[in-house]
Chain A
């Protein structure tokens, strides 16, 4: 089953997550959900990636690295915000050392001139591997402008 004409290369970007969502991403990659059968492949560099799998509430400590990684991605950039933290700050949203989810990071990136073309949101604490697969499918159909 092909999602797209080309394979989707994903880059895993942890922005201070508790590792719950990261384990779910690994679950999606391991044989039970084996996303490589759909052409989704994990790559080591953001320069090779079509989609960044962003987990965590974007802590202040990780912010410079997150900005550098997203700037390194080729256009059209797509980001999949995975988990309650990346979608809306999660249980941390009142505390100080983070931006409180991807929406606030996107505003910051816009002010820096880094355009994120498509954003997908996968809520859940942690997000299920099936939901992550759904998210990538929705994101890619949106990115390519196709109907599905």
Chain B
């Protein structure tokens, strides 16, 4: 009996991967941790909207907008990699984020915030607004003053403009909804 088992064992060989000395068994499709490139990030927050585990966070801290990648919560789905329009999140096959220091699990980038000219609140990063300007210029679209406002002020301004338009129509004697 033992001879038969030994013969089988010799035929099949050693299954053990001597990991710290030998490279690990990884396929190319393996989804590893993401590498966060702070130079490419503009702080649009697309990654924070798709992240199912909330490992990507966008936080307003004082005058700065902080984009944070918390590897300790990441479930390696790579949705943020597909969502990022700037290629700031690079997908790797690396699984080694092991650490004894909790702070090492965080990747942070602090963006300079752009203040709303009307109310002064921070609502977007300066880099994102510069990027939007660049796109609008290349498309030949005029940049309105209302574009610089925060979403809250923009809503109020839009309603004011609509109201002024309506009053103007009434003065000219045009009925609502009828040409």
Contacts and interface: CB of A to CB of B under 8 A. Distances in A.
Interface of A: 1, 31-34, 37, 84, 87-91, 93-94, 101, 103, 118-125, 127-131, 133-135, 137-139, 142
Interface in B92-122: 95-100, 102, 104-105
Given A90-B75, A138-B99, 5 more contacts: A1-B20, A88-B105, A93-B73, A125-B76, A130-B24
Interface stretch (B11-19, B36-44, B137-145, B153-161): B11-19
Most buried by A among B55, B70, B73, B74: B73
Nearest to A124: B95
A84 B15 contact: no
A138 B74 contact: no
B132 interface: no
A120 B21 CA distance: 21
B72 interface: yes
Contacts, number: 95
A133 B19 contact: yes
Interface string B1-43: 0000000000000011111110010000000010000000000
Interface residues of B, number: 29
B168 interface: no
B54 interface: yes
Most buried by A among B19, B76, B102: B19
A122 B74 CA distance: 11
A63 to B, nearest CB: 20
A134 B72 contact: no
B53 interface: yes
B96 to A, nearest CB: 6
18 contacts: A31-B15, A33-B16, A37-B16, A37-B18, A84-B53, A94-B54, A118-B100, A119-B102, A123-B71, A123-B73, A124-B33, A124-B97, A125-B53, A125-B75, A130-B24, A130-B96, A138-B99, A142-B100
